Structure 1
Amino acid sequence: MKRFIVGTAGHIDHGKTTLVKALTGVDTDRLKEEKQRGISIELGFAPFKLPSGQKAAVVDVPGHERFIRHMLAGAFGIDMVLLTIAADEGIMPQTREHMDIIELLGVDKGLVVITKMDLVDEEWMLMVEEEVSEYLKGSILEGAPIIAVSAVTKEGIPQLLAAIESIAEQVQERSAEGYARLPIDRAFTIAGFGTVVTGTLWSGQINTGDALELMPSGLHVKVRNLHVHNERVATAYAGQRVAVNLQGIELAEVSRGELLATPGVLAPSYRIDARLKLIKSSKRNLSNWNRVRFHLGTDETMGRIVLLDREQLNPGEEALVQLVMEKPVVAYKGDRFVIRYYSPVTTIGGGVVIDPQAPKQKRFREEVLEELSMKEEGSLYERILLELENKPEEIMSLPDLVKLTGSTVSAVSAELEQLQQDGMVEDLKNGDYISQKGLGLIREHIHDWLQKYHRQYPLRSGYSREDLRSRFFSKINARRFNLIVKYLEEQNFLVSVQNNLALPEHEPVPGPQEQEIINRVMIAMEKDLFSPPALNELK
């Protein structure tokens, strides 16, 4: 069966939580304060079974403007949205803000649920439906079904379930291939089991017994148990709500905003290159170095915007930017994000990550803009070659290239094979790759240095392998450098003499100066074979 997540969106008190209860039988308001105040404060979650037997999960988000950051934590990772609008109030401020966020996150599957239909007459309902249809024009949900329901009388609920079932068929299931990434939205303890974290599994899969890494802290943990839809499972897949019981970590060491991931794949970064769009309804422009709130997954951090090709970004415009964070964030190429103004706190835009491990970029540089455009729009073949040639003397592994391109292992492997056939990339074995451009530069450096060294020290067998690496190729670790040496030996470009390296044509023979000294010594020795001169007499 298909795996997908349904999320609510809409203004406070428009019946999102009551609707979820009518659909799932679960009251997602679990906090005492939520019960007392009658509003959702935290995220709510419920397993969901459609009439066909298809299982899904529902994420219920708070609608109050004070809790938009909670809404954002839940909205990342949903595949279908139920935009909820109360019949007696119509479109309200958080209806619009939630809709802006849904568009920024690229959630293009969903429908509109007009709740509380039992509180208005038919004429009023027609007017609300017309208002909603007009509002959706030009949006990501234009033409989406509009279903009127009453969670009290259950009128319209069967039609809503049928519409959800129909839209679910259009949802593209997340790939279980690739690396596991689970943004944590809750962390708690259960007596006798220990620390439990929950979240939506964005990619890959998690198995009982897996070793995982908590990012950005880098703490290593082990999966003790897994639960999906309140049932214990051996494996959780991308597109599922997952509860993960962890070994090797205390509750105080983990919190919302962190990420559970396959070890060694992701790295925290203070700089991210991205394409940023300012929403049309934003009441503010964005200037270079403006301070913003950056939301990605369940994480929120402060950062600054560097506009790479202009001084100001206006509402409705988009541009290439660099985000400079105040604390490290963990991102992946292709991830969507949302930014909110620092103060007053309002949603102003969002975008897509192009380079999650960006170097410091200089503004108004044509070569920088061209490179980012290639990373953003180029084919996978072109992007792999760009990454390898960008740092020509560095070697990259298959996981490195998967991470940098935001693609899958199988897709990157296929393109690497083609690049090798085209003579653009060399496989150094063990899953390590280098561009022919980079290999050529390394070969040139080694040849020039050894040639000079052989001239200066013709009697020596060669130059120390490790000294050569540390002198010229310190960014390449010893294991990878040895792979390069082995490749160059196989190409008859180098020879190894114990721990030294030499050019194949080199033979330890004296040069002109050395030969002159040898000749002088031989003459002195031959003058009196039985009474050789003292060493100081030979100098």
Structure 2
Amino acid sequence: MKYIVIGTAGHVDHGKTQLIKTLTGTDTDRLKEEKERGISIELGFAQLKLPSGKQAGIVDVPGHERFIKNMLAGVGGIDLVLLVIAADEGVMPQTREHMDIIQLLQVKKGIVVITKTDLVDDEWLAMVTEEIKEFLRPTVLSQAPLVPVSALTGQGISRLLQYIDKLVDDTEERNSGGQLRLPVDRVFSVTGFGTVVTGTLRTGTITVGDSVQIMPQGLVSRVRSLQVHGRKVEQAKAGQRTAVNLSGVEVEQIKRGSVLVTPGSVKPSHRMDVRLLLLANAPKELKNRARVRLYLGTDEILGRVRLLDREELEPGQEVYAQLELEEQAVAGKGDRFVIRSYSPMRTIGGGVILDANAPKHKRFQPAVLEALATKELGTPEELVNQFLAGRQALFSVEEVVKGTGLPAPEVALAIEKLAADRQIKVVPADQKELVVSRQVYDNWSREIISMTENYQQQYPLREGLPKEELRSRKFSFINTKNFQHLLQSLEAAGLIALYDKTIASPRLTGRLTAEQQRLVDALVKAMHDGQFQPPAWHDIIKSHKLKEPEAQEYLQYLLRTGQLVKLADEELYYSAARYRQARQKIVDFLRHNKEISVAQTRDLLHTSRKFTLPLLESLDRERVTRRVGDNRVLIQ
């Protein structure tokens, strides 16, 4: 089922609330002060059942100029608008300001409802209708139907419902498949239930039991229960007016303007890139760093406008700019916003968010303006490429979605195309993919290969450059797990060889100079010639006049390459060939005898107890033999 939210707009006392009551049977003025003063102050909500059986939510907004911020909190989430103009007064100041807001938010679907027709004659109604048409000509509602009604007599109401029904049918359904996003317009407490927030679900779905994050506060909560228009449900979808009962948070911790989101899906920001229009009817130019009131979603935030290519913006002009906010806000690419002057408060402009988490830009830089044009008008491939360009990081697909503001399917397709064109590199990572710009990846590759080869040339006897040493020195901005994925992609390309803890260049691995190879052979021979009672390592290195650091390099090389075997005693070594011989002799003995003692092993190998016991312990570790008392038996 399609879920659509309808909003009212119009001057104070033009009959918006009475019209909603006639259409739905619900009086949306719920506050005592609203009843006493006869005007709407806060947002009101009702459910409308249409002739076709479809249902829509209605948000009734205040018309008085003092409550424009409340009007903005309601109109931001609507799919279509009922612009209400009283027949006896025609277009009034708040009609114009509300129309400016509708224009800035680009609410392109709507109906103009001419109310109070019972108070005027046909001639007056015709005159007012022409005035309204002239007023609407340059706006997004220029083609909207004009429907005269009387909420008191019921005249025109059935015709209005038919128009609404058709418009609802023609309105595109919101995306329930994306990440959760619900801007909060009311917060209150219900006895026995706790904190409840309400709002129009912009995207995604929300289900009882879900974990949600309250931004920009960063609080995490769980959904205890849900209601849609007073009806208890297990799940709410995009487009529905939703009440969410939250656990673990207090009313005081949330405010109108907070946003419920999928945990980790958005990042609040103090700075946003925007395309900004100053209304043609703005009273004066907007100067660089002018303080303004920003209306975004259901939030009102103070901030300043940084003009990037001029010192002041003339009425009617449109530019790229940055909004620097005094409090953090949550937004997504493509969100519309409105700005009002700080004092006196008046709607002066608005626009669209291009980047909700923007870095600070230098002013008067053509490259900055070109980049913002790409953010606004670029293809998904251009936007993904721009997001990755120059960034020294591996990004998950989810992070690219968050960074570009594009839908996940568009990002996935863009990544596929960019990878095929070798503009980005996809790095496999367990059950997901990491991406990085091709230029950054190639720079990393060259640096890793260069550092690895330099290390191996300096330490030719070592297996390779320790991975963690390389990461901590040059790639500390990549976590250990992702760094391993990066190295694996280089190994798959044949650029490096990976070992347990080191990286090596396939071009240099195992390459010793003739002199180094001669010394290696001599050391192994000296150990081998000692039969099963070889000389001590320190005696061998003395005879070859090796200093301790160099000797340790050779010892580690011989152990790593398997040319020497360390016995259980840390200072005793056999050549690999002698160790295999010794093991085979003991195994052959045990195949003909039940067990072997230390003394029998000593005599079998013609060696001393000094070597015999460590040798047997080494075979125990290898699970060739097993100790039983003072003897060893063969493990089958």
In the superposition, the TM-score normalised over structure 2's length comes to: 0.80
> Partner residue of 2:479?
477
What does the per-residue CA deviation read over 1:422-475, in whole Å, with 9 as the maximum and x for residues that have no partner?
333332231322232221111012122222222333333222322322322222
**Partner amino acid for 1:322?**
Q
> Partner residue of 1:457?
459
Q: C-alpha displacement at 1:535, in angstroms?
A: 8.3
> Partner residue of 1:396?
395
Show the 5 A alignment for 1:366-515: 366-391=366-391, 393-429=392-428, 430-507=432-509
Show the 5 A alignment for 1:260-299: 260-299=260-299
> Partner residue of 2:613?
none
What does the per-residue CA deviation read over 1:259-314, in whole Å, with 9 as the maximum and x for residues that have no partner?
00011110011110110011111112111111111111011111111111122111
Mean CA deviation greater in 528-537 or 119-128: 528-537
> Partner residue of 2:93?
93
SS in 2 for 1:371: helix
**Partner amino acid for 1:422?**
D
Q: C-alpha displacement at 1:509, in angstroms?
A: 5.8
SS in 2 for 1:177: coil
CA distance in 1, matches of 2:407, 2:549: 70
CA distance in 1, matches of 2:396, 2:547: 57
Mean CA deviation greater in 223-232 or 98-107: 223-232
CA distance in 1, matches of 2:49, 2:513: 85
**Partner amino acid for 2:157?**
I
> Partner residue of 1:32?
32
> Partner residue of 1:251?
251
Cα 1:51/1:506, change in 2 over 3 Å: same
Contact 2:41 2:62 in 1 (8 A): yes
Quick one: higher RCO (CA 8 Å, sep 6+), 1 or 2? 1
Q: C-alpha displacement at 1:511, in angstroms?
A: 7.0
Cα 1:530/1:236, change in 2 over 3 Å: closer
Cα 1:372/1:533, change in 2 over 3 Å: closer
CA distance in 1, matches of 2:540, 2:351: 87
What does the per-residue CA deviation read over 1:464-489, in whole Å, with 9 as the maximum and x for residues that have no partner?
32232232222222222221111112
Q: C-alpha displacement at 1:44, in angstroms?
A: 0.5
**Partner amino acid for 1:436?**
R
Q: C-alpha displacement at 1:171, in angstroms?
A: 1.2
CA distance in 2, matches of 1:304, 1:516: 74
CA distance in 2, matches of 1:321, 1:493: 45
Cα 1:149/1:506, change in 2 over 3 Å: same
Contact 2:187 2:196 in 1 (8 A): yes
CA distance in 2, matches of 1:440, 1:64: 60
Q: C-alpha displacement at 1:419, in angstroms?
A: 2.4
**Partner amino acid for 1:122?**
D
Mean CA deviation greater in 469-478 or 529-538: 529-538
SS in 1 for 2:498: strand
CA distance in 2, matches of 1:532, 1:230: 93
Cα 1:237/1:514, change in 2 over 3 Å: same
Q: C-alpha displacement at 1:338, in angstroms?
A: 0.7
Q: C-alpha displacement at 1:502, in angstroms?
A: 2.1
Q: C-alpha displacement at 1:212, in angstroms?
A: 1.0
Contact 2:196 2:245 in 1 (8 A): yes
What does the per-residue CA deviation read over 1:212-231, in whole Å, with 9 as the maximum and x for residues that have no partner?
11111111111121111221
**Partner amino acid for 1:421?**
A
Contact 2:390 2:440 in 1 (8 A): no
CA distance in 2, matches of 1:512, 1:292: 76
Cα 1:104/1:390, change in 2 over 3 Å: farther
Query: In the alignment, does 2:176 pair up with 1:186?
Result: no
Q: C-alpha displacement at 1:357, in angstroms?
A: 1.1
CA distance in 2, matches of 1:484, 1:328: 34
> Partner residue of 1:145?
145
**Partner amino acid for 1:410?**
P
SS in 2 for 1:431: strand
Which structure's CA Rg is the greater one?
Answer: 2
**Partner amino acid for 2:370?**
E
CA distance in 1, matches of 2:408, 2:144: 35
**Partner amino acid for 1:406?**
G
CA distance in 1, matches of 2:540, 2:363: 77
Contact 2:195 2:250 in 1 (8 A): yes
Contact 1:181 1:202 in 2 (8 A): yes
CA distance in 2, matches of 1:538, 1:338: 71
Contact 1:41 1:62 in 2 (8 A): yes
Q: C-alpha displacement at 1:100, in angstroms?
A: 0.3
> Partner residue of 1:78?
78
CA distance in 1, matches of 2:227, 2:359: 39
CA distance in 2, matches of 1:426, 1:397: 12
> Partner residue of 2:346?
346
Mean CA deviation greater in 234-243 or 426-435: 426-435
SS in 2 for 1:126: helix
What does the per-residue CA deviation read over 1:148-168, in whole Å, with 9 as the maximum and x for residues that have no partner?
111111111111111111222
SS in 1 for 2:170: coil
**Partner amino acid for 2:382?**
E
CA distance in 1, matches of 2:308, 2:217: 30
Q: C-alpha displacement at 1:512, in angstroms?
A: 10
What does the per-residue CA deviation read over 1:505-531, in whole Å, with 9 as the maximum and x for residues that have no partner?
233666799899999x9xxx9xx9898
CA distance in 2, matches of 1:198, 1:458: 68
CA distance in 1, matches of 2:19, 2:540: 111
Q: C-alpha displacement at 1:52, in angstroms?
A: 0.8
Contact 1:177 1:408 in 2 (8 A): no
What does the per-residue CA deviation read over 1:232-257, in whole Å, with 9 as the maximum and x for residues that have no partner?
22221111111111122122221111
**Partner amino acid for 1:440?**
D
Query: In the alignment, does 2:206 pair up with 1:206?
Result: yes
CA distance in 2, matches of 1:503, 1:531: 32
Contact 2:227 2:243 in 1 (8 A): yes
CA distance in 1, matches of 2:250, 2:147: 45
Mean CA deviation greater in 28-37 or 528-537: 528-537
CA distance in 2, matches of 1:386, 1:538: 50
What does the per-residue CA deviation read over 1:180-213, in whole Å, with 9 as the maximum and x for residues that have no partner?
1000001112222221110011111111211111
In the superposition, the TM-score normalised over structure 1's length comes to: 0.94
Q: C-alpha displacement at 1:536, in angstroms?
A: 8.4
Contact 2:488 2:498 in 1 (8 A): no
Mean CA deviation greater in 7-16 or 414-423: 414-423
CA distance in 1, matches of 2:468, 2:541: 45
Contact 1:47 1:230 in 2 (8 A): no
Query: In the alignment, does 2:365 pair up with 1:365?
Result: yes
CA RMSD of aligned residues (A): 2.5
Cα 1:81/1:537, change in 2 over 3 Å: closer
> Partner residue of 1:321?
321
CA distance in 2, matches of 1:379, 1:513: 61
Cα 1:287/1:533, change in 2 over 3 Å: same
Contact 1:455 1:511 in 2 (8 A): no
Contact 2:390 2:437 in 1 (8 A): no
CA distance in 1, matches of 2:209, 2:12: 41
**Partner amino acid for 2:72?**
L
What does the per-residue CA deviation read over 1:85-110, in whole Å, with 9 as the maximum and x for residues that have no partner?
11111111110000000110010000
Q: C-alpha displacement at 1:114, in angstroms?
A: 1.1
Cα 1:536/1:60, change in 2 over 3 Å: closer
